[in-house]
Chain A
Amino acid sequence: MKQKNTVLSYVLIIAFCILFLFPIYWMLSTSFKTNDVIMKLPPQWIPRAPTLQNYLNVFGDNKFLTFYKNSIIVSLSTTVTSLILAVLASYSFSRFKFFGSNAIQMVFLSTQMFPAMVLLIAMYTMYRQLNLINTYTALVLACTTKALPLSVWVLKGFYDGIPRDLEEAASIDGCGRYETLFKVILPLIKPGALAVAIYAFLVSWDDFLWGLTLVNKLEMRTLTPGISLTYLGEFSYDWAKVMTAAVGASVPVLTAFIFMQKYMISGLTVGAVKG
């Protein structure tokens, strides 16, 4: 019975994965083809004459590497900033009731309920007054603003799932409040914190609107506006190169994610609850 289940799980997972990952395979396969074969039927499932020309074109260009560097700087800074702010704020929201705490939570969340499109002019004007147009700071602030409210909200969900007796036990053991938070509670929500960190990273990695609006120098552009600017032009789409840029934009992030995974899987909670 149990074995049957496992086999079934495998079959299901593998089948789903193949279906699910096909678009990625197709993207990869396209990036190794030349323009004259990608639009032809029957499709070449495996490129018959694979070429690296697209990669040479895209990566041989300093521009792409610059966009890349900018995206990494902005995304990492955003991740760290939002994670720190979110870990603190969501703990407070989960554990304490103080005057206006519910209202503040709602305000946090509601900042994301407003169409960004309408905010463009107000935001641009504000960053201009702060003299931050064309700085990473502006992008990091804007992306953190985008990632933070939902990060707080998600992390609060994780804190809510942790029994309160833990803090009481810790306080009896003589732990201070910050000590309790960092040494006792935080390790328990580590999977949540990492999930949120990944979320924040990808929010800014995916950001198009702010990268487009708050920065307008070529050497400050991030990936998505950069790709849009270079490959999605007035006259036509260059499929092969766009796919190549897409592969370039996603593979390193994926590698980082696979590396980080091991921190997400843990029996930490169990041990801690016992203690």
Chain B
Amino acid sequence: MKLASVLNNRINGNRYRSKVMKDKAFAVSLVVPALIMLILTIIIPVISVVRMSFFEYNLLHMDKAPWNNFDNYISVLKDKEFYLSFLRTITYVFSTVGLAFITGLIFALLLNTEIKGKNLFRGALFLPWTMPQVIIAIVWMWMLQTDYGIMNYVLKSLHLIQENINWVGDPKTAMLSVIIATVWKQMSIMMVIILAGLQTVPAELKEAALMDGANAFQRFWNVILPSIMSVIKTVTLTQIIINFQMFGLFYTMTGGGPVDATSVLSIYTHEAAFMSFNMGKGAAVGVTWLLFLIGFAALYNKVLSRKEIYAD
């Protein structure tokens, strides 16, 4: 094809150039609606907030907001609590996405077989995703309640624990509680998207591998996984980005406590911006967080692309 187009180009340069132009025009026309919409609704506000991060923007004295020589950034980067929140966020994000991915993948593989009642199972497993976060938080808070929660009751009846665990109220288990609630909710979307990916794996590939005598694991590792790698890459990265933002579950379940055990970046930002009225500092945290995620996304993309096979 390429050779043909090169030849074509030699023969008729003008026509080729106009085809390229048309390609570009087509490509751009597809992106423009989405781009305009995002510029209007979020890119402009983000820019204004980035700008805000360089000024002393405090709700306690809104009348003046002078340039403050990177003071917001300095106070963020000097704050020990910022790094701790950052570490907690990383722990939270990677454990939730990791666990949700593994369980989601297992379910998707199980459901991609020839079993009966597949739709029923899939529907049932999708239920948690349809529940709003606020409610997920409440349901889990209540299941994990120390004294009348069902979780402690079951664990105690099974003699797995002696004393009731104060799940949400103990610094040792609070993060775990939020992770459980998150994975419970997010496993479903992982499963659905991976399943959709599995269904686009060409059957011939699987058949060919079967004929070559590959066992189940080899088929999965060498054929299926590479084919769905681009889907996996995107869905995990999106979940990483989403969970970086997670505020609702933390705010409702633990409020960042006890003793800051679950004070992740979003809680830290909320405290800076709304409890301390320091919007400038909040914005500076936001910008730092943005830079980190952009760097991370680029790296992640690069590393995972190696396992990917391209159709061409």
Which A residues are within 8 Å of any B CB, using their own CB? 6, 9-10, 12-13, 16-17, 20-21, 23-24, 26-27, 39-43, 84-86, 88-89, 91-93, 95-96, 98, 101, 104, 106-119, 121-123, 126, 141-142, 144-145, 148-150, 152-154, 156-158, 160-165, 168, 177, 188-189, 191-192, 194-195, 198-199, 202, 205-206, 208, 223-224, 227-228, 232, 237, 239, 242-243, 245-246, 249-250, 253-254, 257-258, 261-262, 264-267, 269-270, 273
Contact = CB atoms under 8 A, between A and B. Distances in A.
A246 B135 contact: yes
Contacts of A115: 245, 247, 265-266, 269, 282, 285-286, 289
A62 to B, nearest CB: 20
Interface stretch (B9-17, B74-82, B93-101, B193-201): B193-201
Nearest to B194: A195
A145 B38 contact: yes
A111 B27 contact: no
- In this complex, the member of B227, B230, B279 whose beta carbon has the largest number of chain A beta carbons within 10 angstroms is B230
A6 B184 CA distance: 25
A113 B42 CA distance: 11
Nearest to B268: A115
Q: Contact residue range for chain B? A: 35 or more
Given A165-B312, A257-B123, 8 more contacts: A10-B115, A24-B127, A89-B30, A92-B28, A114-B286, A115-B285, A199-B189, A269-B200
A21 B107 CA distance: 14
Interface string B24-61: 10111011011101101111111011001000000000
Contacts of B161: none
Contacts of A232: 134, 138
B45 A189 contact: no
Contacts of A246: 131-132, 135, 138-139
A42 B34 CA distance: 55
A234 to B, nearest CB: 15
A195 B192 contact: yes
B293 A113 contact: yes
A264 B191 CA distance: 13
Given A117-B247, A157-B231, A237-B138, A141 B199 contact: no
Contacts of B312: 163-165
A236 to B, nearest CB: 12
26 contacts: A20-B125, A20-B187, A39-B148, A42-B153, A85-B33, A96-B26, A115-B247, A115-B285, A115-B286, A117-B282, A118-B282, A122-B45, A122-B52, A144-B37, A161-B200, A191-B200, A206-B133, A224-B133, A246-B139, A254-B130, A258-B119, A261-B123, A266-B199, A267-B203, A270-B204, A273-B202
Among B45, B128, B266, chain A packs the most CB atoms within 10 A around the CB of B45
Nearest to B115: A9
Contacts of B40: 141
B35 A104 contact: yes
B298 to A, nearest CB: 8
A17 B131 contact: no
A117 B266 contact: yes
Given A113-B244, A141-B37, A27 B139 contact: yes
Contacts of A93: 31
Given A117-B269, A123-B45, A160-B230, A12 B241 contact: no
Nearest 9 interchain pairs by C-beta? A96-B27, A163-B311, A92-B30, A157-B234, A122-B45, A113-B293, A191-B196, A89-B34, A258-B123
Most A CB contacts (10 A, CB to CB) among B31, B187, B269, B310 go to B31
Given A160-B310, A224-B134, A262-B119, A254 B127 contact: yes
B30 A108 contact: no
Contacts of A208: 132-134, 248
A106 B184 CA distance: 30
A232 B241 CA distance: 28
Given A117-B273, A246-B131, A111 B42 contact: yes
Interface of B: 1, 23-24, 26-28, 30-31, 33-35, 37-38, 40-46, 48-49, 52, 107, 110-111, 113-115, 119, 121-135, 138-140, 142-143, 148, 150, 153, 184, 187, 189, 192-193, 195-197, 199-200, 202-204, 227-228, 230-231, 233-235, 237-238, 241-242, 244-245, 247-248, 265-266, 269-270, 273-274, 279, 282-283, 285-286, 289-290, 293-294, 297-298, 308, 310-312
A211 B137 CA distance: 18
Nearest to B51: A122
Given A114-B46, A161-B227, A164-B311, A154 B235 contact: yes
Contacts of A189: 200
Nearest to A116: B245
Nearest to A202: B129
Nearest to A127: B41
B113 A9 contact: yes
A253 B311 contact: no
Contact of A114 (B1, B133, B197, B290): B290
